[in-house]
Amino acid sequence: MNRTARQRRAWLSRALGVAAGSLLLRTAQAGTPDGAPGESVIAPHYLTTCRNGPDDFQLVLLDERGNLLHRQALPARAHGAATHAGRGTGCVFARRPGQWFCAVDLHRPGRLHTVAPPIDRRFSGHGVYSATGARLYTTESDIDRQRGVVGVYDVGTGYRRIDEFASEGIGPHEIVRVPGTDLLVVANGGIATHPDVDGGREPLNLDDMAPSIAVIDGRDGRPLSQHRLPDGQHRISLRHLAVDGARRVWYAGQYGRADDDRSALPAADTRALAGSFTLAADGTAAPGGALAPLLLPDGLLPGGHGYLSSVASAGDDVLYTAARDGVAFVVDPVARRVVDRQAYSDCSGVAADARGGYLVSSGTGDLAHLVRDGRWLDLEPLAMTPFAWDNHVGAVRGPDLY
Amino acid sequence: MIDCQTVRAPGTPSQASRHAVRCALLAAVLCVPLSVQADEGGAHALAQVAADTVDAALRPAYATFATEATTLADSMRTRCAAGAGPDTATLTTDWRSAVSAFAGIEFLRIGPLLDDNRLNRLFYWPDKRRAGERQLRELLTEPLASITADSMAARSVAVEGFPALERLLFPNGEVAGSEARCTTAIAVSGHVSAIAAALDRAWQDDDGIARQVREPRADDELLRDHEEVLRRIGTQIDTGLDILIERKLAPVLEGEVARLRGLPFVRSGTLVDHLRGNVASLRALMLDNGLAAAAGLESELGFEFRIADGHLDRLAELLAPAPQAIGAAHGEVGEVGEVSSADDWPMTLDEEQAGVVRALHSVLSSIRNTLRERLLPTLGIRTGFNSEDGD
């Protein structure tokens, strides 16, 4: 049996609840005094995932300073994370086209609860809990009909799938919730894929992309509004989202093109990779708050890759990461301008903390605390690890927005 | 397709060995199906690069750092204890050597340097919020008996390493009782020395991290095969170049006037020593271990590194001589209001100085491009994670 097969079997054993003490890794033992999963109580601030080696992907819980509290194996590479502090639970989602998400008790981790999608659905890498934490919403693709859906899962019954509704577009990716409500905001990336074509990651409709951001009432799936970029910018795949303290929805875009396309990106598209709209109480755009690009300054993304990785808001500002350009930058949401940036290799994961700053992780193993200080974006190194941190970080104890 | 049989093997044994490694690696990447790359010559060549990385880059750098950190700590201790130890010029030299040696391991981020937050403890930077300055001021008011090398590990990382030690040795008019400053400098330098010694012990242990890099095993959590070892090495080079180019040099050149503000080791005038150590470690990771030779890029990269060395030499000539460390003996150190000559060191660069920094930035960027566009792809080494295959 090769290593991958052994790892899969080991992971399966743990997923089924077999005692995993011998498999708990050294640093995890350091964070859990008795070394036995599920027996000690921890208070993590962040839920994320990483690559620890060939075919070795793990779920990780971190404290406020990025110290490792717990980690355990996942069946494959994951992508996004969702948390609900009140219920003390969280989920990590398989990378698209995903065939699983894993739920974990944030305070007594050790046993993962794994959920698979219906046979004709694939997870898209993200999800979000309802305000009470009773439901989990996931972005999914309906394989046969090439449309996006939002799956609805009942947390109390072990994440039983109880409903689904349209995401109002193709290729839904991140889904977020407007603080204090059950208004859902879904980024429909606009890129069609199929699991049978290049592992489900080959774009099939670059010329006809129609990305959008949909606002949906999470209680009943009723679409409330839909938002698109100006004409001519349909190649910007709207993929990641954050909501700030004034109900502004910020998007992070990725220019849709084939992997081997090295042509120069149109300047107008580079400048439009980030932007926002403002939500009214009824889920429509507030007067004067239509979706509009931020107009990123020239030179901000020197590599011209057309790729923003993630976005988060601590309330009064917004932080973006751009892994391919090795840059993180902070935006003043009122002035709608970039305040400052920091060079940060392969940075991607970003989560707002409760102190007005952000935890930012990188594929090179770094964890740092970034915070805006007036005109500057400060970077405080927290930890350097041997792990390649994955695209996203979920805040367990983030800003008091939710 | 490459025909290694027709290539004349260079004369010296080491060159011949490099040539063999190069042929094996190129063959593995270009001539042999990917599915069998891990077998035969390719695996052997990967193993050789991994072993040479240990012997030619990692172990020497950590040994030098341990030696220089111990020398500095000894100088501090004898100077403070008797007031008759090394003079300030010697102390300054010891400081410079330690700074350079540390810069030689800063990018070697594998194994024990990542344990226990050691890199941050040695070098808490950047520190735009001046946490180190603030916390050091508080530390200097504590009872002297509580400030020891052993106690430093329990303190904030902002006062445990080189930035704090630099502030103590080059006070720049900051106020402090001399005895407190002396005691604290002994404690911090002793702590740095202890970390350096622990790192060196870990690397010299034949059954420790050195074995893990040389002979990765499938059941080893850190390094399971040579492909993973090369991936880590490639990531260190790429990340190191990014830090050097984007965090250290690029900010100098932003704005209308080139400024050194925010860079490490400006206060003590050892910035160039620091940069030189960084560049040397990158050269060791690319050239001294045979990695560049394996991709057929040894001459080209060697030339570019020599250009970088030339720019560093020129920058050292153009910048004013480094200030002397404040004498560490009782009565000499950090008297209230005392101002060291570090103030004379320029924060703003003139056009010629800025031009050299620009040229250094340019050649290092070229090295990074060569790494990313040619060396790593030629050898089939993948480094980026989110940047390479994000979503």
Give the SS3 label for residue B186.
Answer: helix
Chain A residues within an 8 Å CB radius of B114: 365, 384-386
pLDDT category, B44, cuts 50, 70, 90? Answer: confident
B129 vs A70, A126, A379, CA distance in Å?
30, 35, 9
Distance CA(A310)–CA(A201), nearest Å, equals 19
Of B124, B224, B390, the CB nearest to A323: B390
At residue B101, the pLDDT reads: 98
Chain B residues within an 8 Å CB radius of A95: 391
Distance CA(A382)–CA(A380), nearest Å, equals 6
Residue B124: closest CA among chain A residues belongs to which residue?
A381
Amino acid at B72: L
- What is the rounded average pLDDT of the residues A4-14? 45
- What is the rounded average pLDDT of the residues A117-140? 97
Distance CA(A291)–CA(A212), nearest Å, equals 10
Q: How far does the CA of residue A84 sit from the closest CA of chain B (Å)?
A: 24
The rounded mean pLDDT for chain B is 84
- What is the rounded average pLDDT of the residues A160-177? 97
Give the SS3 label for residue A67.
Answer: coil
Chain B residues within an 8 Å CB radius of A139: none
Q: Do A363 and B386 touch (CB under 8 A)?
A: yes
Chain A residues at the B interface, defined by Cβ less than 8 Å, are 3, 25-26, 51-54, 79, 95-96, 125, 173, 239, 307, 309, 323-324, 326, 343, 345-348, 362-365, 373, 376, 378-386, 388-391
Residue written as token pair 């819980």? A61
Distance CA(A240)–CA(B279), nearest Å, equals 37
Rounded to 5°, angle at Cα A128 from A126 and A129: 150
Of residues B221, B174, B143, the one with CA closest to residue B336: B174
At residue B343, the pLDDT reads: 47
pLDDT category, B40, cuts 50, 70, 90? Answer: low
- How crowded is the C-beta side of B112, counted as CA atoms within 13 Å? 20
Amino acid at A199: G
| Inter-residue contact A229 to A291 (CB < 8 Å) | yes
Q: Do A346 and B128 touch (CB under 8 A)?
A: no
Q: Do A51 and B228 touch (CB under 8 A)?
A: no
User: Could you tell me which residues come within 8 angstroms of residue A391 by beta carbon, excluding any fewer than 6 positions away?
Assistant: A79, A80, A309, A310, A323, A348, A349, B386, B390, B391
pLDDT one-digit tens code per residue, A339-390: 999 999 999 999 999 889 999 999 999 999 999 999 999 999 999 999 999 9
Per cent of chain B over pLDDT 70 is 81
In a mutational test of the A interface, the residue from B223, B230, B387 whose CB has the highest number of chain A CBs within 10 Å is B387
| Inter-residue contact B31 to B2 (CB < 8 Å) | yes
- What is the rounded average pLDDT of the residues B367-379? 95
The residue that leads in pLDDT, A22 or A370, is A370
At residue B164, the pLDDT reads: 95
Q: Is the pLDDT assigned to residue B322 strictly greater than 70?
A: no
pLDDT one-digit tens code per residue, B48-99: 999 999 999 999 999 999 999 999 999 988 877 765 556 778 888 999 999 9
The residue that leads in pLDDT, B26 or A142, is A142
Q: What is the 3-state secondary structure (H, E, C) of B84-135?
A: CCCCHHHHHHHHHHHHHHHHCCCCCCCHHHHHHHHHHHHCCCCCCCCHHHHH
At residue B26, the pLDDT reads: 53
At residue A359, the pLDDT reads: 98
pLDDT one-digit tens code per residue, B231-265: 999 999 999 999 999 999 999 998 888 988 788 99
Q: Is the pLDDT assigned to residue A25 strictly greater than 80?
A: no
- What is the rounded average pLDDT of the residues B324-333? 50
Q: Is the pLDDT assigned to residue A16 strictly greater than 50?
A: no
The rounded mean pLDDT for chain A is 88
Q: Do B385 and A346 touch (CB under 8 A)?
A: yes
Chain A residues within an 8 Å CB radius of B391: 79, 95-96, 125, 173, 239, 391
Q: Do B386 and A384 touch (CB under 8 A)?
A: no
Q: How many CB pairs under 8 A join A and B?
A: 103
Give the SS3 label for residue B75.
Answer: helix
Residue written as token pair 């007005």? A356
Distance CA(B249)–CA(A164), nearest Å, equals 52
At residue B174, the pLDDT reads: 52
Distance CA(B350)–CA(B139), nearest Å, equals 37
Strand partners, A282: none
Distance CA(A242)–CA(A275), nearest Å, equals 11
Chain A residues within an 8 Å CB radius of B264: none
- What is the rounded average pLDDT of the residues A161-170? 97
Q: Do B385 and A385 touch (CB under 8 A)?
A: no
Q: Is the pLDDT assigned to residue A402 strictly greater than 90?
A: no
Q: Is the pLDDT assigned to residue A262 strictly greater than 90?
A: no
Q: How far does the CA of residue B299 sit from the closest CA of chain A (Å)?
A: 27
Strand extents, DSSP E, A212-273 = 212-217, 222-227, 236-243, 248-255
Distance CA(A76)–CA(A58), nearest Å, equals 8
Q: Is the pLDDT assigned to residue A126 strictly greater than 80?
A: yes
Residue B241: closest CA among chain A residues belongs to which residue?
A345
- What is the rounded average pLDDT of the residues B190-216? 97
The CA dihedral of B132, B134, B136, B140, to the nearest 10 degrees, is 180
pLDDT category, A270, cuts 50, 70, 90? Answer: very high
User: Could you tell me which residues come within 8 angstroms of residue A240 by beta carbon, excluding any fewer than 6 positions away?
Assistant: A173, A174, A187, A251, A252, A308, A309, A310, A311
At residue B320, the pLDDT reads: 76
pLDDT one-digit tens code per residue, A91-125: 999 999 999 999 999 999 989 999 999 999 999 99
Chain B residues within an 8 Å CB radius of A390: 385-386
Give start and end residues of each alpha helix (H) in B247-382: 250-253, 271-283, 291-294, 298-318, 351-370, 376-379
| φ and ψ of A168, to 5 deg | 70, 25
Cα distance from N-terminal residue to C-terminal residue, chain A: 47
Q: Is the pLDDT assigned to residue A42 strictly greater than 90?
A: yes
- What is the rounded average pLDDT of the residues B103-122? 95
pLDDT one-digit tens code per residue, A183-193: 999 999 999 88
Of B109, B127, B228, the CB nearest to A384: B109
At residue B129, the pLDDT reads: 79
pLDDT one-digit tens code per residue, A247-257: 999 999 999 98
Of residues A324, A325, A312, A304, the one with CA closest to residue A369: A312
B213 vs A167, A384, B119, B223, CA distance in Å?
48, 19, 20, 7
Q: Is the pLDDT assigned to residue B4 strictly greater than 90?
A: no
Q: Is the pLDDT assigned to residue B339 strictly greater than 60?
A: no
Give the SS3 label for residue A158.
Answer: coil
The residue that leads in pLDDT, A362 or B6, is A362
Chain B residues at the A interface, defined by Cβ less than 8 Å, are 109-110, 113-114, 117, 119-120, 124-129, 131, 218, 221-225, 227-228, 232, 235, 238-239, 242-243, 246-247, 250, 384-388, 390-391
Q: Do B243 and A345 touch (CB under 8 A)?
A: yes
pLDDT category, B175, cuts 50, 70, 90? Answer: very low
- Radius of gyration of chain B from Cα atoms? 23
Of B127, B239, B391, the CB nearest to A95: B391
